[in-house]
Structure 1
């Protein structure tokens, strides 16, 4: 009965904001110059990976995040794959990450032939936990000639990939400091956190490399797309080279100097991205209002709303509730989806999937606890907000 009441309260709160018969989890909003930008690309005949919109989109992401360089890719997984290569990860190495993540994180590690190692997350942020990482590094890593090796497996630990789950900034400052002490490069999976900050510093800029996703369900979208950001000019140049099939510049000859990837973002996708970036500040304002409304409106239903931790600012890409247990979670999921309000559980732990079941982990106590309880609720940017509507007080 209590779960039914919780679900009814969630459905009512969602419908007060969105009002559709069916409310998706997160849908794109195209309310700017998207159509005009696409038409300009078509008229220019530059619709593939060469065009001024690609360059403009890269510049806008670099400026917004405070990175020196940005290189656009076809999707976030491609950005992470190349980012790991640029960080020096090789076949047979290990990469520390979290089991509570979308599968793309581990897929990118596996593309190289490297092995994920799962360290537990922090309950407050749902991202890689600094305390768990410190314990793992202290207990498991030996340093030889400035390189980190796993005492148990003997493999080199070549990188660490923390993720900012649902746009909530993880303990990235502490993680970066810990990894620096062991000579482990950090590649931030910031796929979900465009517009999220630790202090005044944007997520994705604490490590050697950061990566973003612009999939159709992200806070801004290019249909499909990703981005690599870095402050290292050599890394940025090689990122562009590798993602452009490693082709050496020449007016007409086809010479490729290493194995590369056809990973550059098309100009058409970048055209969407440029228009979306113009609207991003407004999107962030509206999404914060939605999150604040949910926090207050759902305060008494027995489900904790996951808020940004102190000293950080989340983009609230996907709002999350923490239910008392798995039974309450499932009851809410069933009732909300039956009512046409899309909700979903958090991802299955990577360590439970067949291809990653044998990967080393530290027990994942918090990850397992969260897996049974987290529910995402609709978080799209609302179409319009009237002054006396439910979000009015939060936008004042």
Structure 2
């Protein structure tokens, strides 16, 4: 395989978004190639902060020439997002290889191909030789897939045969359109077949009206949701992109974090009798996020999601991390390291030996701090962290946690001008996923 999934991980962590921006300017509105190129460069510049990938539709960019394509791919590289040429490449051997070499020369990270010529392996081999990723057209968006892609081949639909060929060839990603004819169970089976590293690119959300929730629930971690005209032709494209990006990201973070909490041994605990929480309250349901750190896969996932969430709201620099001892220290340390920023932590009580500090690390007056912790219950621990940082001259207005128990933390922090952001929350959706009755907690 190429390093497409690594590029994906970096781009998503950088932006905190799974939005793929579809650049397909209508020729009716922009008939001249130069005007279409200018339009795309403008949209890419103004919208790149809200997406982790950009998909250029070859049919909408005809006439811009190699120089035009290189301007687009260079712009994408400057802002750290993955560039995909949607050309649906498909032809016999030598012609397909020539197409791959041209795409490489244009500077793209990946391209789309269709499997109908039966030579996916040749295309992938040439693409990987050129350092390119390949997205295999597997199932189109809207109702287009119902006509041919579900035709029976043996005892399986045709699109299964495409997946099989893609897996055998080492395809990097799969185009799986948002469609009412593809249900959640089938999406989960697609993910099982292609493995966890492959990226699913899903068109069809915007103008076609597809709903991405089934993909987010069942499609695994590495997904991209493509939206084009609904954003690029909007009256206020950045505002629309921001809303869509945030909604997609929040849904993905909730689903992925909840699954990690539920499936990782020792995190979700249901007791016969209520136990006392660190907040002083009592509950039969206890979330021990420290157990997440014992599992390498869960620890890495939560770190990626947290860094992405912070990046989406704060950017990648200009702040340091603050946390509480001791539960918040492991995650805060990982996050600070991945962001390349400083870290301080606050004790609930002043140390009575050594320098007798309550805050460990150097709080810089006027410096912006972002709170990072594991669980928020009533919010009192987070509030102590906020107060301690502010007393030493730091500025803190956002606090990020893995899990919010919905017991008042959000309201308490809001009263002191701090926004609480959580990856997952104790609510009906979480309890349904966990198979836990609401009376339990």
User: Structures share a fold, TM > 0.5?
Assistant: no
TM-score band, normalised by the shorter chain? under 0.3
TM-score, length basis structure 2: 0.25
**What TM-score do the two structures reach when normalised by structure 1?**
0.28
Name the structure with the higher strand share: 2
